[in-house]
Structure formats: C-alpha cells, structure tokens
Amino acid sequence: MSQPSRPSERRVGKPPTADAQLLSSPPPVTKPGDFTSTDPWRVLRIVGEFVEGFEELADVGSAVAIFGSARTDERDPWYQAARETARLLGEAGFAVITGGGPGVMEAGNRGARDAGALSIGLNIELPHEQNANPHIDRSIDFRYFFVRKTMFVKYSSAFIVFPGGFGTLDELFESLTLIQTGKIEHFKLVLMSAEYWQPLLDWLRTRVAGEGKISPQDLQLMDVTDDPAEAVRIVVESEIQAGRRGTPPPG
C-alpha cells in the first residue's frame, strides 16, 4: 500500500471507501427506497468482486505473492532484493503477485517483467489515491480488503514477505493463522531480512510461545533468509514436496 496520510488528512473532503461504508454501523434511520446504500446491496457488489477476481486469475497456475513496504525507495537494498527475488521466481516458472502499488510491490512486478513472467497487481481502493505501478501485466482493482486477501491466498502457493508495516504484518499473520489452523496446506512463508524480523521472532518465541499462547512448533511455519536465491529455493522445494512439480535432475 502507498504511504498513509494522517487520519485528519484522510477524512477531510474524501468520500468514504467501500470498505469504510461496509464496516460502518448502520444509521438509526435508513432512507426508504435507497437500496444502493444498504448492506444487502453491498453483498451483491462483494459477490461481483469475488467473481471478477476468480475469472481474472483462474488461469494463473503457479504463483508466489511478494509483500513489503510501499515506502521502500528504489535505492533501498531491499527493493533490489525484491526485484531479484521476483526475477528468480519468474525464471523458475512462477507468476508474481503483488499489491500493485509502489515500493516492494513495484520491485516484485518489475522483477517478474525482467524474467518475462506474468506480473500481477491486486490494487485496493484507499482513502488516498494509490496508482498501479507500471510493471504489471494484469491489474485488478478491489474495493474490499477481504476479497483481495482471498485472491492472494487462493492463487499463491507461497508468500515472500519483505520488511514492511501494518499491511505487510496483516498479510503475514493472516497467512500464519490459516496455516496453523489447517485452512491452507503446503503453503510456504518466507521472511526476508533476518535483522528486521528477528525482534518479532524473539518476542513470539519468548513471550507468546513461552506463555503457551502458541506451540513452539508454530514458529517453524516461517523460514527466514537474506538471500533471494535461498528464498526461491525454499519455495521450489516446498512445491516439490507438495507434488506440484517434479524433482529437478541432478547437477
């Protein structure tokens, strides 16, 4: 996602997003006859958004989603690492899916383009404008976060997560929850940058697992590396173990 503005900046003169309208409590009195402002009407829009996403992505095949901060500058080493990771994924036969915006998302789409692989951007309506980056072959716009998040999980076999903020953490912990509860299987989760993620992993181990809130083995649901080639190797090996691709010939 693009860099957020302050709350006051988001509200002044900005129409509410579809997500904001859906999640708002209904007014005490609904104007009669205005069906398009009701929650049942929004349900129909949500269904339509699911249908559009399924139709657009049905032919994708093997894909990996790349997440990370929209605020990552092109000169940042992790921008370059995300681009290289996506390039290697493309060369290994994967499409690359991102949130379609700037920063790490742009780097991921750019790397897919470098490899001639399918580059997909799943953009989201925000209170502040987010333009799709110019390295996308297939772009889909979503009004609702939860529909978009379904598409990431359904059409990816792995998430590679670069340093990022709230949106990145949201995708990270949602995927962890789905893996832990068995809602998705044979799904690989790779964290890029040991230095960035280690404090979080230490807290999960010492506090969360230490107090029995999760099991120690839950920490094994994530792999951590600094190396794009290693990240891609982890994903490829996961695909082989899941039976989704054959074992590469020796040498």
Query: Residue holding tokens 């580059």?
Result: 119
Identify whether 34 is part of a domain. Answer: no
More confident residue, 191 or 130: 191
Share above pLDDT 70 across residues of the chain, in percent, rounded to a whole number? 83
Instruction: For the chain, count helices (H), then strands (E).
Output: 9, 7
In three-state form (DSSP H/G/I as H, E/B as E, the rest C), the secondary structure along 48-67 is: HHHHHHHHHHCCCCCEEEEE
List the CATH number of the domain containing 214. 3.40.50.450
- Structural domain includes residue 177: yes
| Residues whose CB falls within 8 Å of the CB of residue 172, separated by 6 or more in sequence, listed in order | 67, 159, 161, 189, 191
Contact at 8 Å (CB) between 161 and 172?
yes
Average pLDDT over every residue of 145-164 = 96
197 lies in a domain? Answer: yes
Indicate if the pLDDT at residue 132 is higher than 80: yes
Structural domain contains residue 61: yes
Q: How many residues belong to the chain? A: 251
Whole-prediction pTM value? 0.85
Give the least confident one: 23-27, 101-105, 206-210, 222-226: 23-27
- Has residue 139 got a pLDDT over 80? yes
Write down the mean pLDDT value for the chain.
89
Say if CB 76 and CB 104 are below 8 A apart. Answer: no
**Exposure string for 6-26, b = 16+ CB within 10 A, e = fewer:** eeeebeeeeeebbbeebeeee
As a whole number of angstroms, the distance between CA 111 and CA 170 comes to 24
Number of domains the chain contains: 1
Is 187 within the bounds of a domain? yes
The one-letter code for the residue type at 92 is A
- The separation between CA 217 and the C-alpha centre of its own chain, rounded to angstroms, equals 24
Q: What is the residue range of 144's domain?
A: 49-241
d(CA 126, CA 151): 18
CA–CA gap between residue 109 and residue 101 (Å, rounded): 9
Q: Which of these ranges, 1-5, 52-56, 140-144, has the smallest mean pLDDT?
A: 1-5
CA distances from 219 to 29, 56, 77 (A): 49, 34, 27
* Beta partners for residue 121, in sequence order: 98, 139
Which tops the pLDDT comparison, 41 or 2? 41
Beta-carbon contacts of 231 under 8 Å, excluding residues fewer than 6 positions away, are: 85, 160, 190, 192, 223, 225
pLDDT at 5 over 50: no
**Crossing angle, helix 145-154 and helix 39-57, to 10 degrees?**
30
Residue type, 86: A
Domain presence at residue 74:
yes
CB 204 within 8 A of CB 219: yes
Radius of gyration of the chain (CA): 19
Confidence band (pLDDT; 50, 70, 90) for 32? low
Instruction: Report whether 157 contacts 188 (CB < 8 A).
Output: yes
At 216-246, the pLDDT tens digits run 999 999 999 999 999 999 999 999 998 988 7
Q: Which residues contact 60 (CB under 8 A, 6 or more apart)?
A: 95, 97, 118, 120, 155
